Structure 1
């Protein structure tokens, strides 16, 4: 898993090169990765790629359609959105724009920084929902109380499940008991899980039953890991 796949990802649709550079630089200081795209490409990207936020210049054609497509996407419907509008002439139309934040021209580093600072908590919350922490630890799997235990190892883990590498094929829908320990987390995590997918020796497991106290500790552990990955540039 690459560093870019772990960072916060923001879609930027803007034709102005100076504004694009300004937005990208401020985002970088917050540890945010920017994907700059033209309008037609953006309409396709939001269908299959996850973005925690999107910045769309309403001077470009299809701007409203891009935000509508984003809000209609299963994985991006709760993404934080920014609309760039023209100064005073854009203030009247700002009420009609479906965006979390509105940026009025002229853009400046201080305006971008203040706006992003206000939005960062929302963006971080959105990232946390989909964060998968890459980690390799031993995992014990068991299909049933009478079946043999299988030794596997984790690939990544999230609040709702984990991906494992296993020598034994696991069919989607199979119920398994999973046990594993994480660094700096004292208790052993034991969970009932269902296999969501299996391919090339790897399986995705969805937690079905996990003790609330363990779920809380896992959530805190993941938050600490995510903050380490996403630490802003000073």
Structure 2
């Protein structure tokens, strides 16, 4: 049994006791883990927790001090840690949750290799950014180094951890962007061959570039083809998507978009991009500074290449320039031609 730190919205920090790996989510006051609808509640809650940070990291180590060090460093970068102490617990978490990063302590020995292998084989986590925490035994570290993209070398320090995480920050943001979902309450029209057109207003919709989950009593089965029509908030033109029901539970449906026009897909992705940018912490923009001075440039990119990198990470360069006045400090210089880390 272990305790983990959790923060929910504007609430004060609280400690939550976890008696099993089935209770892996951060805890909300209204969340009941003994409820029959726990898995559905967890699905919707994960959307909420995702808006509080830029990513979620699985942290696996048997050393409490290491867990504490990395948890603090991750939170400083607005990444939520989900910690466990062994391969069995990590395996359960990898099956239940989507992680943007996986950090494994090589002091776990053979277990560390199994965890990294399982992450790579996981349908949800195979693209997660992987880190290893070096062992004092050079042979052990060398054996597992090839399984991870980044390695933290011991002895550990706050500065070293922060520096390594910072170098991987862009990759974590890109991974976050791939699975970004945003909760909305909008009318949705569902059409299928098995029933007449159904209009519903769902208070629990989360939408991504690839589909949506919504609350509805419409009886549809997984694999069934439907056409979904909806209008994004602050938009007037409806979006149409040929779709497939990918999961169905009492009162809830998961829909995967199969075909959507290029124009409407661009509108949807642009809207999601804006919503993601609004959720990013202020300091994220500061990670991407432009400057003409070659002496301060660490990544040599042209202006066009720089903007392309920002867009790849779902960050609109124009948006960052617009934030300059709101934040009071010039995070991005308009006359820039180079990208540099702080």
Answer yes or no: same fold by TM over 0.5: yes
User: Residue 134 of structure 2 contacts residue 141 of structure 2 at CA under 8 Å; is this kept in 1?
Assistant: no
Tell me the CA shift for residue 195 of structure 1: 1.8
Q: Which has the bigger relative contact order, CA under 8 A and spacing at least 6?
A: 1
Matches within 5 A, 1:10-159: 10-39=57-86, 40-61=88-109, 62-86=111-135, 89=138, 93=142, 96-144=145-193, 148-154=196-202, 155-159=205-209
**Which protein is richer in strand relative to its size?**
1
Give CA deviations for 1:181-216 in whole Å, capped at 9, x if unaligned.
Answer: 112445321112122222212222221220112112
Tell me the CA shift for residue 147 of structure 1: 6.4
| Residues 71-80 or 93-102, more deviating | 93-102
Secondary structure of the corresponding residue to residue 59 of structure 1: helix
1:178/1:123 CA distance change after superposition, 3 Å: same
User: Residue 43 of structure 1 contacts residue 69 of structure 1 at CA under 8 Å; is this kept in 2?
Assistant: yes
Tell me the CA shift for residue 68 of structure 1: 1.0
Cα RMSD (Å) of the superposition? Answer: 2.6
| Residues 221-230 or 152-161, more deviating | 221-230
What is residue 187 of structure 1 aligned with on the other side? 237
TM-score for the superposition, normalised by structure 1: 0.87
User: Residue 47 of structure 1 contacts residue 69 of structure 1 at CA under 8 Å; is this kept in 2?
Assistant: no
| Residues 90-99 or 123-132, more deviating | 90-99
What is residue 214 of structure 2 aligned with on the other side? 164
User: Residue 145 of structure 2 contacts residue 151 of structure 2 at CA under 8 Å; is this kept in 1?
Assistant: no
Tell me the CA shift for residue 227 of structure 1: 3.5
Give, in whole Å, the separation in 1 of the partners of 2:59 and 2:160: 17
Structure 1 unaligned regions, length at least 5: none
1:207/1:59 CA distance change after superposition, 3 Å: same
Give, in whole Å, the separation in 2 of the partners of 1:152 and 1:60: 51
Secondary structure of the corresponding residue to residue 74 of structure 1: coil
